[in-house]
C-alpha cells in the first residue's frame, strides 16, 4: 500500500465481509445463530448498535458481520424507519410529524 493511499471504514468493512463470507459455512451459520441469540436476548443493545444513533463504525461493523454470515439470505434484523408527514390542512413546517414504522 502506498503512503498516500487512505484506507477508510468501507475498505475495512469490505475486507471483513469478504473474510467472513469466505470462511467455513458451518462457522458462518454459528455466527448467524449467535447474532440472532444476542439480538433476542438484548434487543435494545443490538438494535441500537445497528441504528443511526450508533457510531458509524459500530453500526456498519454490526451490519457487515450480520450480512456476511448469511450469504444466501437476508438479515433477520430490520430497523424501524421514520417517515416524515406533512399536515395537509396547515401545510406549514409546524405541521410536520414523524411516524415510526417497524420493518417486517
Does 82 fall in a domain?
no
Do 84 and 37 touch, CB atoms closer than 8 A?
A: no
d(CA 37, CA 65): 14
Does the pTM surpass 0.75? The reply is no
List pLDDT tens digits, range 10-24. Answer: 898 888 889 988 999
Output the CA torsion sign for 35, 40, 42, 47: positive
> How far apart are the C-alpha atoms of 48 and 32, rounded to whole Å?
18
pLDDT in tens, 42-90: 999 888 888 888 887 687 787 788 777 776 655 565 555 444 455 555 5
Answer whether residue 59 is part of any domain. yes
21-52: per-residue pLDDT in tens? 899 999 999 989 999 999 999 999 888 888 88
What the block records as the C-alpha cell of 78 is 430490520
The total number of structural domains in the chain stands at 1
**Residue 9 or residue 4, greater confidence:** 9
Residue 14 lies in domain: 9-75
In a domain, residue 26? The reply is yes
Amino acid at each position: 500500500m502506498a503512503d498516500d493511499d487512505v484506507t477508510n471504514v468501507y475498505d475495512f468493512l469490505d475486507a471483513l465481509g469478504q473474510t467472513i463470507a469466505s470462511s467455513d459455512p458451518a462457522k458462518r451459520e454459528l455466527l448467524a445463530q449467535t447474532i440472532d441469540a444476542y439480538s433476542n436476548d438484548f434487543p435494545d443493545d443490538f438494535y441500537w448498535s445497528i441504528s443511526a444513533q450508533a457510531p458509524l463504525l459500530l453500526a456498519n461493523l454490526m451490519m457487515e458481520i450480520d450480512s456476511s454470515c448469511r450469504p444466501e439470505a437476508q438479515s433477520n434484523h430490520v430497523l424501524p424507519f421514520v417517515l416524515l408527514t406533512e399536515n395537509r390542512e396547515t401545510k406549514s413546517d409546524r405541521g410536520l410529524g414523524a411516524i415510526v414504522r417497524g420493518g417486517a
